[in-house]
Amino acid sequence: MKNFYIIILFYFLAQSLQAQDIITTTKKNEVKAKIIEVTPHEVKYKMYDYLDGPILNIKLRNVENIKYENGQTNNLSSKNPRMIKNIGLSLGLQFDFDADNNDLIATFDYFVTPTIEFEINFGLMNSLNSPYFSLGGKYHINRIESKSPITPFIGALVGTTNNVTFFQLPIGVSYQSKIGIKSSFSFNQLTNFTTSYSFYEFRVGWNFHL
């Protein structure tokens, strides 16, 4: 009978050890936890031995993988690079192959999700000798779990220059590495409903995560 109780004790102990999630960090540390939620930017969890405690979080960029209690593993280190480094700064050049118009542009962008990007642009239109400002969004045609650094995109922005409001429609392709280096090339149509102007744009920059 004593051996029977020992076997039962070991059985429940084994079940208890299995019924936990394991977070492995990029520094190879293991955290025994109960996963609450995995967002595009962080992992929310409770300590397994203190489930009545507060909800903690760890930045997604610091997580290598999560092994769930059912045995499945979520390898977060192979996720879409835009999911890890979602804030960016870049410089660019807008140019027209048929005219000598080269406009400079500086951009701040933020990936709300790995597919939806919000950006603010400041630039100087040499053709009008006037500064300009624009903001809007882009949709990147890729999946959250995609490992590819390259993705096509389309967008819509609204801006102003020389007291004239304009609309800008870009379509192009972007590149972003896991370490944050990024670039993009796009064709843009700019219009204010009375005139229309087409140009190309090339950007280079850096993405990071606060």
Task: Show the domains of the chain with their CATH numbers.
Answer: 2-78 (2.30.30.100), 83-208 (2.40.160.20)
Q: Which parts of the chain fold into alpha helices (H)?
A: 2-18, 81-84
- Give me the count of residues in the chain: 210
What pTM was computed for the model? 0.67
In the DSSP assignment, the letter for residue 131 is E
Phi, psi of 7 (to 5 degrees): -65, -45
pLDDT one-digit tens code per residue, 10-66? 555 555 545 689 999 888 899 999 999 988 678 999 998 888 889 999 987 788 889
Per residue in 136-151, pLDDT tens?
999 999 877 677 899 9
